[in-house]
Amino acid sequence: MSSHSAFAEAADALAAHVLGALNGTGGAVQPARYVDDAPDTLAALAAVRVLGADVFSPHLLAGQAFEPQDAAVVVKAFDAFPASDTTEEATVARRDHATAVLLARLSRDDTLRALAPEPADDVLPGTGPGTGEWSAWSVRMAQLAPLATLGLDGPVHAAARGGALALSRGFSRSILRRDFSTAGRLVRWLAWLRHEGVGLPLDPDVAVEHVHLVGGAGPRAALDLAIARHFLEQSSGTAPEAART
């Protein structure tokens, strides 16, 4: 098996583990134990890096405790796979920075933000009238879906708040193209926007269920939908205590 295949399988396995913890069907998520028990430690650490901020979903959305050994294993994953270059891989760099920010917050160690520096603010294409870039922008936002979680706010989130129509158009386009993985990531942003009190041109409840029915297969796609449902079920100001620290 190639390293790429091993990393992909490990990421799916960890996503299933996180999904079970988030939904209350698989006990607490324990990244450190997952890595310790994995037959391929390097692949397990790669999985932690691939899921990034989503590893913290049960802590942010379901209020599970975050243990010091779990913080240590995320640091170890960064050591094994350092943060991406902020100029050549800006999308990955933003995801890395989000992971570092949440790690620092949950572990109460602000020095951990240095694991991944914040990228420049001007890397997202515009979405205003006449830009003609809403399609490319929505694809980029889908790639940044792990940032659609509690405990984060920044340029990407500001762009999402100002781009509800573009995100909705991107979602509809993805459904028509049967690109259900992109649709699931975009509906996660739409659910986050409703949680933030932003008006939307479509119903995210219906959108989530549609993606679930037509293409929500695979643990990572299912995790996107589960996170979206959490946002739709929670009203502003009722997030678990862990998300407010």
Query: Could you write out the DSSP letters of every residue in 33-102?
Result: HHHHH-S-HHHHHHHHHHHGGGGGHHHHHS-----HHHHHHHHHHHHHSPPPPTTTSHHHHHHHHHHHHH
Residue 234: the pLDDT is 84
Residue 240: the pLDDT is 43
Query: What phi-psi label fits residue 218: left (phi over 0), alpha (psi between -120 and 50 degrees) or beta?
Result: left
- The predicted model gives 5-32 an average pLDDT of 88
Average model confidence (pLDDT) across the chain = 88
Residue 242: the pLDDT is 39
Q: What is the pLDDT of residues 72-118, one digit of tens each?
A: 999 999 999 998 765 558 889 999 999 999 999 999 999 999 999 98
Map out the domains of the chain as residue ranges. Answer: 1-123, 129-245
CA–CA separation, 58 vs 215, rounded Å? 23
For residue 28, pLDDT beyond 80: no
For residue 241, pLDDT beyond 90: no
- Between the alpha carbon of residue 146 and those of residues 93, 151, 224, the distances in Å are 12, 12, 8
Q: Which residue has the higher pLDDT, 104 or 128?
A: 104
Assess contact for 236 and 195: CB atoms under 8 A.
yes
Whole-model pTM: value is: 0.89
Residue 238: the pLDDT is 42
